Chains A and B, each alone.
Chain A
């Protein structure tokens, strides 16, 4: 009897350990790479790197950034790009999802079309946007043949433009299906019963949308749009390819400083990356806070 008890205790202990053991491979990757890398970057942004003789940490890189004329415009531009892309993509995705669920025939075709570009990399999307929307792209050529314009400059500047239209176009094109997909998945998890109940209790179509469907979708919408916001805030390749030279979004500015011939710019580059990381973290926390409140309500 005591022997059996010990065995059982051991078995229970092992069962408690199992999830951790299974998590171990993931943790081995995440902890050193994530925490270790972040810590190394943070130290470097404080000018602390004993290996090369920098052993008195300071805030020089951060104060240099505040004095840099380009930093503030760059921060504003990055925020503008991320917010605009996220809001447009979210609204369009929400609209698309509400339309799709009313379809009977062709629904799977629309679903397929919607998901198709999830497999296409951002870079390929950016090249496509250049071919279509640049001042010598397909649309400009069509406009020329149709006689709307006489030379490339007359076509509106949509790429490399201060309003970052090209960048926002790529992000909307790419993130809309992602948000829509999450919303569709969330709708399939039992939203329809509540709507049916509301209808049987006499709610109008608008009331069902306002008081049942939208609240039901909100957590998924917030979750996916926060992911998109954090991503578009920190992504480098699209603004690097389609952005104007000045001001450059933060990730591009960080890269330019990192590859500056003047090695003193490197801590500044890493400081920008740290600021991007902190702001992305704030977005995620904000999201967690809002969804918790929504769910509690």
Chain B
């Protein structure tokens, strides 16, 4: 009898209607008091005042949670320092897609919640940053109060513009990333090193390649590589969105991707839903090529045993796309001071160096290395990369810029309409 009750309880809990209703009522029941928060309440505060205000606070940091190494760095290293030095508790909230955090803030804004939001910091860039900025949902204009702002090179276009949208003091750069591919030497003799060669390779090796369905960010950036290839280079595309140009290049892109389909994994009838799934399929020898917006992940995955030691990173000689990612405080965060202290810590030479260590994360620093202390300059200079990871110089040589986010949205939509089904 007890068992029957128990399982009724379980079903009640999972009833789709209730789940749905609970979901909506969260938006409905949030407090609707509206108080005008000044845009830069911290601009005139001294750093000590901000640190004092932040003491004992809590930061809910929403970030992509698909990498154990990144999660460990954030929770253990950053969270540990934050607690020890500033008495601030870091809650890392793992999400699958940054748009989930953007939607949460948007829902709160619609419900009139202007000062007690649930998100204090978001790892963000591109179209999500554009949404936050357009919707007036970013907290801006406090950067001068942050000591480590001095380490950031705002003269650099790839820092001052996030996918073509000016940052305008609304977010703080955290990491640089550049797309790279990986293959297993044991399974593949010579990997294709141009997009054209890759397309050819796929048709000659049926079933051994696929890409995650956009809007997964890695799948999306793979499709953009094909888009650049179809356009004959990125040069013409670095403008405001142009429908005629888009239609022309997109038609060629869909043609290439649809021609490729019969030779993809499962004959292109379905796609992996995330980069994590593609990585697992590569590790299990279901496909022969994987890729990542984080080239150093190959080294980490060899070290933790998920990839074979014969895995090698490689880049396309016609270029791979790179970008900068940022952290942003939503306008209605109730813990802004604590979030600013966290951003300052994240941009310190100490935290950026730890992040660059190949055994920790191995990602490129977003601060200007000519401005940091001599101690860390030396450390960065002697940093060793994992032998299987593409070298920094090789990456820099082939770096391609990202498009403005309006292009990216159009490409993702178009892929869904023309290739996915």
Contact = CB atoms under 8 A, between A and B. Distances in A.
12 contacts: A36-B28, A38-B20, A38-B21, A41-B24, A49-B110, A118-B7, A151-B285, A160-B272, A161-B270, A182-B4, A261-B127, A263-B106
A177 to B, nearest CB: 8
B25 interface: yes
Interface in A241-292: 244-247, 251, 258-263, 270, 273, 276-277, 280-281
A259 to B, nearest CB: 5
B25 A160 contact: no
Contacts of B281: 136
Contact of B409 (A52, A162, A230, A262): A262
Interface string B382-421: 0000000000000000000000000001001100000011
Most central of A245, A262, A277 by chain B CB within 10 Å: A245
A37 interface: yes
A218 interface: no
Interface stretch (B97-105, B189-197, B297-305, B352-360): B97-105
Contacts, number: 129
A235 interface: yes
Nearest to B421: A246
Contacts of B11: 178, 227, 231
A212 to B, nearest CB: 23
Contact of B270 (A44, A160, A233): A160
8 shortest interchain CB distances as A-B pairs: A234-B16, A136-B284, A37-B21, A37-B25, A37-B24, A244-B270, A41-B24, A245-B271
Given A37-B28, A245-B271, A262-B413, A51 B110 contact: yes
A261 B413 CA distance: 10
Given A160-B266, A178-B7, A259 B21 contact: no
A36 B29 CA distance: 9
A244 B6 CA distance: 33
Interface residues of B, number: 52
B270 A261 contact: no
Contacts of B10: 118
A229 to B, nearest CB: 11
A37 B20 contact: yes
A135 B23 CA distance: 35
Contacts of B413: 262
Contact of A259 (B99, B127, B272, B284): B99
A206 B207 CA distance: 53
Contact of B21 (A34, A153, A157, A181): A34
Contacts of B100: 259
A258 B103 contact: yes
A286 to B, nearest CB: 15
Nearest to B12: A227
B131 interface: yes
A84 interface: no
A233 B199 CA distance: 40
